[in-house]
Amino acid sequence: MKEILGKAKTVRELLKGVKYSIDYYQREYKWHGKQIRELVDDLTGKFLEEYDPSHARNKVADYPHYFLGSIIISKKDSASYIVDGQQRLTSLTLLLILLRTLQQGRADQVNVDELIVSEKYGQKSFNLHADERAPVMEALYEGQSFDPNGRSESVQNLYQRYLDLDEAFPNDLRGDALPYFIDWLLENVHLVEITAYSDDDAYTIFETMNDRGLSLSPTDMLKGYLLANIDDSAKRTAANTRWRDRIRELNEAGKDVEPDCFKAWLRSQYATKIRERKKGAKPEDFDRIGTEFHRWVRDASSVIGLNHGADFYRFIDRDFDFYSRQYLRLVEASQKMVPGLEHVLYNAQHGFTLQYLLLLSPLKPDDADEVVSLKLRLVARFVDILLAWRLWNFRSIAYSTMQYAMFLVMRDTRGMSPPALARKLHDVLAREQETFASNDRLRVHQQNRRSLHRLLARLTDYVEIESGHPSHFLDYVSEGKRRYEVEHVWADHPERHTDEFSHPSDFAEHRNRIGGLLLLPKSFNASYGDLTYEKKLPHYNAQNLLARSLHPQCYEHNPGFLRFVQESGLPFKAHEHFKKAELEERGVLYRQLAERIWNPDDLLREVGE
């Protein structure tokens, strides 16, 4: 083995003026929204533990340091190839691009450009280099629009993860604290760069770090602690069998399902405090369960009733069995349409992972099956309404933004009966200041296109279901060649609308409003999107009911739809022309549809109140 170098480097030292190449077999970027949110939460949470608005900028040098992991580099032909760590470095580069964008126009900017790109002989190139990624990285770097559809998996993931970063980055770091955070990220966050001078050596290091030995997971350690305290050998054997079988099911359900289940279960039933996001705040039980649930159970054993052998057996045989079974049920409902748990899927489509601890919180192991199902429906519907209101009002639903409020709901609904739960959740919603009526200018933009796509899918699906058609929600949100996209009724031709808009920016603002949007197959826009409204109208009549409702023929020989319109009293009407007034009328229709779909009173109706 040739020389091997290992050196701890700050983010600045690692990326400034350095080129990293990605070998062809390493090219896919596969991080999901969950990993991005965890990265943002870990970094911002650590920073906020120390940040104080009264601090001078140079005080950041004394803030705690943070270790972000290691990367393995193979040096060959004077180039540095990433053997391990490209997911982390790619995500870090996306974060730096976002921070660059957030700083634009500020007087206190921190220069991050040299960590993202470098220039030689007038040619700009990205410090993390892969040819196929250049167009999307360039668009993100320059703040330009980009269509990822039809691109490779990596390119689509890069684009979506950037949007996830923007959504997850907390609002309280976008103001005065922003340059402080960037300083801390560049100077106090470290990675270890391990450099080998041959591929063989690099991969030997990689295998040694990842394959040698089999370290115990937190779940393994928790199992050992619990079983060791069951003094009845027959019960210990039975508990071990139950544990082993359920862990296998959790692992079969997907990556990270096993640890996420334990975190959601233990937080939902036992967490009473959460760390404040301020300097000097200490981790509370909510936080400790998230990072070391096996140690937390050991330390809190008497608090959660683990005092005798029978208690430890019950904890596995009854509690673990019940809550893990429900968690698996929720994981399934988050991936496909499960009757009675549709709202779990709707919430999952927004990437809202906090719903799981809320859903488990009111459940009790002795609840009858129908009571469990009712509680799950109530909580999932509550979350659905809350998310829809926030998205309608351009509010973030990021984990870091919602965590504290959802912790309070979780803690306050623990073990509640269905009637009490419905009233409590209804009261929480009644205290919200922003509803659909708060914003009559909802519009699509680059950051909310995905969430608005989901809202439009619900509006479209609701009209069809209420008109007697089967649900097509999964079709509307699925990816692939037949995917649906948010489409504008008006083509992007401001010159066609100079009679109502004197400036293209006014036209663009109205064009993007909710009343001028439809959910249509991508192929539709490719064929007809540039036409005038009058020429597109006949083609709308062959699409979903919400699009068809623009055409007069939708109101003929269509008994299910006509019955729905009459019973609902919603202001559906055909439009032979589509001017500013029609767009605003359509916006009112969409808002009233939303108020029917996401109605807090439905919580009370579920329990007969």
pLDDT band at residue 4 using 50, 70 and 90 as cut-offs: low
Least confidently predicted of 105-119, 370-384, 535-549 = 105-119
Count Cβ atoms below 10 Å from residue 71 Cβ, excluding itself.
Answer: 21
Q: Which of 436, 596, 589, 584 is nearest to 516 (CA)?
A: 584
226 token code pair: 């619990």
pLDDT for residue 16: 87
Q: Bridge-partner residues for 79, per DSSP?
A: 76
Is the pLDDT confidence value at 26 over 60? no
What's the Cα-to-Cα distance from 378 to each of 341, 355, 372, rounded to whole Å?
10, 12, 10
H/E run at residue 460? helix 449-466
Q: Which of 8, 18, 150, 17 is nearest to 66 (CA)?
A: 8
Helical pair 342-349 and 369-392, crossing angle rounded to 10 deg: 30
User: 146 near 139, Cβ under 8 Å?
Assistant: yes
Torsion of CA 7, 9, 13, 19, to 10 degrees: 60
What DSSP string describes 542-580?
Answer: TS-HHHHTTSGGGGSS-HHHHHHHHHH-------SS--H
pLDDT (tens digit per residue) in 129-146: 777 888 898 999 988 888
What are the backbone dihedrals phi and psi of residue 487, each rounded to the nearest 5 degrees, phi first? Answer: -120, 150
Burial 249-260 (b: 16+ CB within 10 A, else e): ebeebeeebbbb
Give the span between the Cα atoms of 300 and 555, in whole angstroms: 64
pTM: 0.81
Q: 488: phi > 0 → left, psi -120 to 50 → alpha, else beta; which?
A: beta
What are the backbone dihedrals phi and psi of residue 417, each rounded to the nearest 5 degrees, phi first? Answer: -75, 160
What are the backbone dihedrals phi and psi of residue 346, each rounded to the nearest 5 degrees, phi first? Answer: -60, -45
What DSSP string describes 263-279?
Answer: HHHHHHHH------SST
What percent of the chain shows pLDDT beyond 90? 66
pLDDT band at residue 15 using 50, 70 and 90 as cut-offs: confident
The residue assigned the tokens 């680059």 is: 446
512 token code pair: 């993007």
What's the Cα-to-Cα distance from 344 to each of 51, 275, 288, 351, 418, rounded to whole Å?
36, 27, 26, 11, 17
pLDDT for residue 80: 77
Least confidently predicted of 273-287, 417-431, 454-468 = 273-287
pLDDT for residue 213: 46
Q: Bridge-partner residues for 70, per DSSP?
A: 192
The residue assigned the tokens 């027959």 is: 234
Give the span between the Cα atoms of 24 and 554, in whole angstroms: 53
Give the span between the Cα atoms of 551 and 549, in whole angstroms: 5
| 9 three-class SS | strand
User: 82 near 59, Cβ under 8 Å?
Assistant: no
Strands 517-521, 20-21: pairing is unpaired
pLDDT for residue 156: 87
User: 297 near 267, Cβ under 8 Å?
Assistant: no
Least confidently predicted of 276-290, 350-364, 495-509 = 276-290
Q: What is the separation of C-alpha 575 from the centre of its chain, rounded to a whole number of angstroms?
A: 37
What DSSP string describes 71-111?
Answer: EEEEEETTEEEEEE-HHHHHHHHHHHHHHHHHHTT-TT---
| 35 three-class SS | helix
Average pLDDT taken over every residue of the chain? 90
Give the span between the Cα atoms of 524 and 491, in whole angstroms: 13
123-127, 220-224, 474-478 — which one is most confidently predicted on average?
474-478
Q: Which residue did the predictor score with more confidence, 218 or 85?
A: 218
pLDDT for residue 487: 95
pLDDT for residue 34: 81
What's the Cα-to-Cα distance from 580 to each of 489, 513, 584, rounded to whole Å?
11, 11, 6
| 126 three-class SS | strand
pLDDT for residue 42: 87
User: 486 near 444, Cβ under 8 Å?
Assistant: yes
pLDDT for residue 212: 46
> Number of helices (H) and strands (E), helices first, in the chain?
28, 10
pLDDT (tens digit per residue) in 306-339: 999 999 999 999 999 999 999 999 999 999 999 9
604 token code pair: 């009370």
pLDDT for residue 1: 46
pLDDT (tens digit per residue) in 204-258: 666 565 554 445 688 988 998 999 899 898 999 999 999 999 999 999 999 889 9
Is the pLDDT confidence value at 112 over 80? yes
First to last CA, the chain: 74
284 token code pair: 């509370």
User: 174 near 166, Cβ under 8 Å?
Assistant: no
Give the span between the Cα atoms of 573 and 575, in whole angstroms: 7
pLDDT for residue 586: 97
pLDDT for residue 181: 95
pLDDT (tens digit per residue) in 257-275: 999 999 999 999 999 999 8
Q: How is residue 220 annotated by DSSP?
A: H
